[in-house]
Structure 1
Amino acid sequence: MQGLALWQQQALAVETIDATDSAALLPELQNLLQNRTTPLILKGLCLNWPLVQAGLVSDAAAADYLLQFEQGEPVSVCQLAPETQGRVFYNADFSSFNYQAGKMPLPLLLKQLQQSAALQAAGKPASIWYMGSTEIERWFSGLAAHNSLAHLLLQPLTSVWLGNQARIPAHFDFPQNLACNAVGHRTFTLLPPEQIENLYPGPMEFAPGGQDISLVDFLNPDLDQFPRFAKAQQAASIAALEPGDVLFIPSMWWHHVQGHDALNILVSHWWRDSPAYLGRPTNALLHSMLSLRSLPKAQRQAWQALFNYYIFEHDNAPEPDMPAAAKGMLQKPLDELNARQLRADLQNKLKR
C-alpha cells in the first residue's frame, strides 16, 4: 500500500474471500451479494479476463488490447498538474476545479500516460491523467464480451475507468457497485454511510464528477480544520486491490479511490435494487432541503416523526385496515401505476 497515509495503513482490511475458482463462484454471485450491507473483496474473480492477463504482461500489452475496442470517439479526460499529487479537487476559492478537463482520443491519452511514466521514472514531475466513468458499450464496443460481470447482475451500467496515480476524493453512490480491478493496483478507503457527519462534505450542486465529495485530504488530513475526521478514521476499512480482484461496494458507502501505477484500468458495474420507476432518492433529499430544512426545529421534529413512520421505519409500522385497492401510495412496495400517479402529482405541485 505504497503512497498511503499512516492512518490508512493501520485501518482494518475489508473482508476477503478467495474467488480464483471463478467457475464455482460466479453462479452464486447474486446470492452472495444479496442483502449484503458491507464491502467484500472477491480475490482473483476476474483474473482470467483477457484485459487482466494482458496487463500482467505489460502496460503496453494492456493498452494494445484496449485499443482493439476503441470506437474513435474522444473520451473525457482530466489533467492534473504534478503539484496536485493527483488529488481531484477544487481550486483555492472553490470557483472551479484543480484540473483541466476536455476530450481526447484514447490513443493520445494512452501516449500521455506513457510519457508521464517516463518522466516519473527519470525522477521528474509529471502530469496525472484520469478518464472517469466511460460507458463500455458506447466507447469500447465488444470489450464487455470477455471482460465484464454484467450478465450476472440486474441490468447494470458498466463503465471503464483509466488513469495513472489519480486520487478520487471520498464520495458515495446510490447504486450498488461491483468494481473489477483489471490493470494496476488501486486502494479503496471505505466508510459506512453514517460517517457523513465526520467527512465534511462539500457543495452538493458543484462537485467533481457531479457527486458531492469529502473536503478532507485523506493522504494529508488536517485534523485542526476537520477534527471530527478522527472518528471517521476509526471507522474506515481498506481494500488494496491487485489485478484480477473485485470489490463489492454497497449502496451509499463512502469510498476514496487511489491509483498507484503508471496505468490503472477499472471496470465497474452499477445497479440498483429497486425499480427505476421509483426514481432517484437524491431528488427526495433535494426537495426536503428546499421545503423542510428551514422550518423551526419543533416543526422539523414533527416531520421527522412522519418520515420515520412512512419511510424509514415503515417495515415496523402497523398496516392500516383498509382494502388493498384503497391504499394508493401506502402500498408496500409501491407498484408502477401508483408510482407514476404519484410522480405526476408531484410534478404538478412543484410547478405551483
Structure 2
Amino acid sequence: MKAAAPVCQTARVKRLEQCSLDEMKALIATAETPLVFGGLCSHWPLVQAGLRSSKQAMTYLAQFYQGMPVTAYHVAPEHDGRVFYNETLDGFNYQAGKLDLRHLLERLQAEAEADKPAGIYMGSTEIQRCLPGLGIDNSLDLAPIAPLINIWLGNPSRIAAHLDLPHNLACNAVGKRTFTLFPPEQVGNLYIGPMAFAPGGQDISLVDPDKPDLERFPRFAMAMEAALTAELEAGDVLFIPSMWWHHVRASADFNVLITHWWRDTPDYLGRPNNALLHAILSLRSLPKAQRQAWKAMFDHYIFDHDPEALAHIPEAAQGMLTTPLDESNARKLRADLTNKLKR
C-alpha cells in the first residue's frame, strides 16, 4: 500500500499583536479571511489559571458548575484523538454519553497519566447553561453583537475539517491548538462525507490533513495549497469568517476553547443550509440543461443580485424582492414556502 503523502507547508494566518478589543472589532467587521489576535484574551482568569497548571484551570472551571450533565466523547487510544467515522462510514469511532462535568475532569486527569491516553472530549456546550457566570470574566464583549458563546474542552484531539454558518471568534483559553483553514471554494477538493450523518452533526472532510492519502484523495493537494495554518497559544484569539472550513488539533493534556458565534442577518431570514437542502430535493435530479437554466435564475436573483436591476419595478410592488428583505415579507415568504412543501 502506498504511504500517506507528507504534509505540505501551508501559509500562516496573519497574526496581529497588541490589538485592543475595539481595534479587533473594527478589523473583523470587514475581514474576509482569518486573523489571529495574539494574546487578546491573555488577561482572562481562566487563561491565567491554565498557565499555572491544568489542575488549577480545572478547579477554576468547576466552581461555576451547577450540575447540568454534559455530552462527552470517548475515543479509544488507537485513534490518537481523532473524532471520526468508523471504517464503513455507517457509524462513528467514539462513544458518546451524558456525564457530570466533575467526573469528566477527573477522567481527564487520569488519562494524563496514561502512556497511551484515550481521547476525552466535550464539544460545543453553551457556556451560560453549563457554567453560568464563567463568561462574565472569560468572554469577549462584542456589543452591539450578542454572540452565542460556547465552551469546548478535552485532552489531545483532532476534529475533522468542517464549516460553520456563523462567524466565529475562537479564544484559546487553555493549552495549544492548531487550526488548518480552507477557503469556502475548496469544498470540491476536501472530499466531504455523508450529509446529515456526521460527527457533531456537521458535514466533514474525510481527509486527515496530518496524514493525507493523496492516492485516494488526489484533489486534496490543491486544498492544501490554498490552506492557512494558525498556531494558537493560551490567550490567542482566532477570527474564522463564515463558511471557512477548519480542521482543529488540540495538543496539550488539557485544552479549553471558548467560541463566539454570530450571523450577519437576523434569525427571521432563516438558515441558508435549508435552501441547500431544498435545492437538493427539487433541483439536483433535473437534467443538466434544466439545472443550468436554474443556475442562471439563482445567479440573477441571488448570487449576482444587484438592487439596481429592480429599478423597473416600483418599490411598493417588489414584495419578496425587497433588499434587504424585511421581517413582514420574510414571514409571508416563509408561510408560502411552508404551505407549498406540504403538498
Please indicate, yes or no, whether the TM-score normalized by the shorter chain is above 0.5.
yes
What does 1:1-352 align with in structure 2 at a 5 Å threshold?
Answer: 7=7, 10-19=9-18, 25-119=20-114, 124-152=115-143, 154-315=145-306, 318-352=309-343
Q: How much has 1:153 moved relative to structure 2?
A: 5.7
What's the secondary structure of 1:73's corresponding residue? Answer: coil
The 1-side partners of 2:299 and 2:307 are apart by 10
Q: Do the aligned residues in 2 keep the contact of 1:154 with 1:272 (CA within 8 Å)?
A: no
CA distance in 1, matches of 2:245, 2:313: 41
Aligned AA (1:117): A
SS in 1 for 2:160: strand
- Kindly provide the CA deviation profile for residues 112-158 of structure 1, in whole angstroms up to 9, marking residues without a partner as x: 11111111xxxx22211100001010000000000001444612110
Q: Secondary structure at the match of 2:112?
A: helix
Aligned-pair CA distance for 1:45: 0.2
Query: Which blocks of at least 5 consecutive residues in structure 2 are unaligned?
Result: none
Q: Deviations over 1:243-263 (max 9, x none)?
A: 000000000000000000000
Runs of 4+ in 1 over 6 A off after TM superposition: none
| Residues 180 and 267, structure 1, Cα contact 8 Å, conserved in 2 | yes
The CA distance in 1 between the partners of 2:336 and 2:307, in whole Å, is 27
Q: Which sits farther off after the overlay, 205-214 or 87-96?
A: 87-96
Shift in Å, 1:27 = 2.3
Higher deviation after alignment, 245-254 or 66-75: 66-75
Work out the number of aligned pairs and report it.
Answer: 339
Contact 1:77 1:103 in 2 (8 A): yes
The answer to whether the Cα contact below 8 Å between 2:50 and 2:173 also exists between their aligned partners in 1 is yes
Conserved? CA contact 1:150–1:158, under 8 Å: no
Give a deviation string over 1:43-83, Cα, whole Å, max 9, x none. Answer: 00000000000000000110010011111111100000011
SS in 2 for 1:205: coil
Q: Is the 8 A contact 2:283 2:291 kept in 1?
A: yes
Whole-Å Cα distance in 2 between the matches of residues 191 and 171 of structure 1?
9
What SS does the aligned partner of 1:7 have?
coil
**Counterpart amino acid of residue 28 in structure 2:** L
- Gaps of at least 5 residues in structure 1 are none
TM-score (normalizing by structure 2) = 0.96
The SS at the match of 1:118 is coil
Return the alpha-carbon distance in structure 1 between the equivalents of residues 127 and 246 of structure 2: 22
**Bigger mean CA offset, 79-88 vs 317-326:** 317-326
